[in-house]
Structure 1
């Protein structure tokens, strides 16, 4: 009997693990709360994307006003899909909008923004991806709302959709503006 229990135990553990994974397979990755929520933005300085015509930026730029920081790359298809919504966000709210261009060649970033338009006040080149890591970025695109005190108050993982713009991002900006 003891031998049977020792044999069955690993099988039961395996079945339990499969059940846990099966129940969580459709889990929305945007539900993963960032450890940086309610924390100050990481200290960083990003140079401008060469030849883009807008400055780079640093953590000091993210204080004194509500800001939105969008991490993007020209090679990112979902970034292309969300780009018109970032332009609409800028037009609707007038919020300060900053871009972190992750692991991208300057000529590709310039072509991307020349084709789709540049809604950003500043775009920092994160060639090595180090600043993105400090922000806790899992992958592009990701978007953050920063309050006037330089505190990250919201994170959206993945591309912004019309629904997430209306139901998540705009309300987060409004809450940040209200203090």
Structure 2
């Protein structure tokens, strides 16, 4: 498994080597030794979650304040455009975002450190996104930024078909950034 840096400070892309033959494909989706070498504590993860979404669905952009959570994100079936926004005041990449295609062909795993906003859009008929999270969910820490925020200007590649009521009501990046930097 190769560990690839990204343009966002602390965000890593873990690229396994899928092995294909006439039976199908086998790949490693997590390797504790590789994670540790990359500075990720493999024993820290306490929860695995999965979402299934349909073509065009956007989930996010979600994050946590306070202690927050780090996560490993991968797609078990289908494909998504996965977006990470650096919401860590003091970070050299604060306010910047990067997008990654995660799919069931390359099996890349995205490491999203604490303090990031995260979301995705489903690019295939269905997509199963798997999350390995290093903290129990604390709803009092939830924050969200609208997926069509003009300051972030994320170019979602497909027609947006469905967004939750919570995400439609999400605030702006400018408001969250001001809140985060006021401390």
Q: TM class, shorter-chain normalised?
A: under 0.3
TM-score normalised by the chain length of structure 2:
0.26
Bigger radius of gyration, 1 or 2?
A: 1
More strand by share: 2
TM-score normalised by the chain length of structure 1:
0.27
